[in-house]
Structure 1
Amino acid sequence: MFTGIIEEKGEVVAIDRAGGGALLSVRGPIVTSDAKHGDSIAVNGVCLTVVKTEGDVFTVDVIKESLDRSSLGGLTEGSAVNLERAVRADQRLGGHIVQGHVDGTAVLLSRHPGDSWDDLRFSLPEPLGRYVAEKGSIAIDGISLTVTAVDDESFGVSLIPTTLKLTTMGERQVGDVVNIEVDVIAKYVERLVARQ
């Protein structure tokens, strides 16, 4: 489990594609500082398992399912990625409950810079729309954000300077594809209600 509070921006240093999956190596000195084989690290919001560490680089296996359902398949050497280690039970939950199980992708439709923040609008895949609510939580590329507006086809978020500086969101351009994970609590509530 993660919080959506990004610890650092990392850099993809190698991608070895084979058999429909990939071996992904990422430089991230903070998240690698205590990482060991079997640990979970979220890369752009996708929970991945560490298979090797070497200096400030960690390597993860990415299965075909993850490549198909997320934007990880579009990464190249040199790509910047958001990184977060799994939360420990004794830490504050600063963002919201993020599983690292990406529900789908969205496209950045518009970006409006403000004096102190940027307003971004993203496409909203139809099957996920029912889980997105104004003032609710959503994870975009692993970042815990608050939904500022929502309609049938899109949703908006506002980004403070810290988020713009410390995550990949400051670099995203119109047309870029991002990973989204909706609030897991909404999915469980829907399932419980449907069974009544």
Structure 2
Amino acid sequence: MRSTSTRTSLAAVLAISALALGGCASVSTGAGAASPSASSTPTVSEPPSTPVVETTLEDEIDGTRVTPLAIVTDFPAPEGSTAGLHPVLIKVELEAGDVYGGSVHPSVASITRRDGNLDYITLGMGNPKELVTAMTAAGYTPLQAVPAGESQTGWIGAWLSDDVSEYDLVYNRNEGKVIGGSKNGETVAASRSITPLTAK
């Protein structure tokens, strides 16, 4: 996986910023046949993926929940990609907790190798720029920041080594401090949980 100390610092800042900002927040069926002039809404087909066991990861401190729904391991690597790496995409539902307000960013969810040593893995690097364009064009809408108390379903893409074929989903929120509001200055402990991404 790609990792730099700059990216690690950025991921930590984003996680803390989410907490800091939070301190300031607060088809019907009719009887009978349809008329010839009636039109139906076209359905949008989902891009190909493999459903996974839906194990919800929950942040017991801020109430955020992340549930994996599907995986794609054969997504074509965009032109110019680094040799030795392949993209893996995960469809997740992110339900943002509302204890501290603010938005929860997709960086809280990471795809890693199965049982990887998290001391040596940079978390929060999902949806790298070079994958987002290709994912979007293929119908895999990238997950966006989710406002407190709301939920969203979307995709997270990551680069993994070609020798990796089993994956975990990691929820990771770093420790931070609340800035503003009634909980100003309160330290919020970190939260981390992991589930294997296993096909149904």
Decide which structure has greater strand share.
1
- TM-score, length basis structure 1: 0.31
Greater relative contact order, per chain length (Cα 8 Å cut-off, separation 6+)? 2
* Higher gyration radius (CA): 2
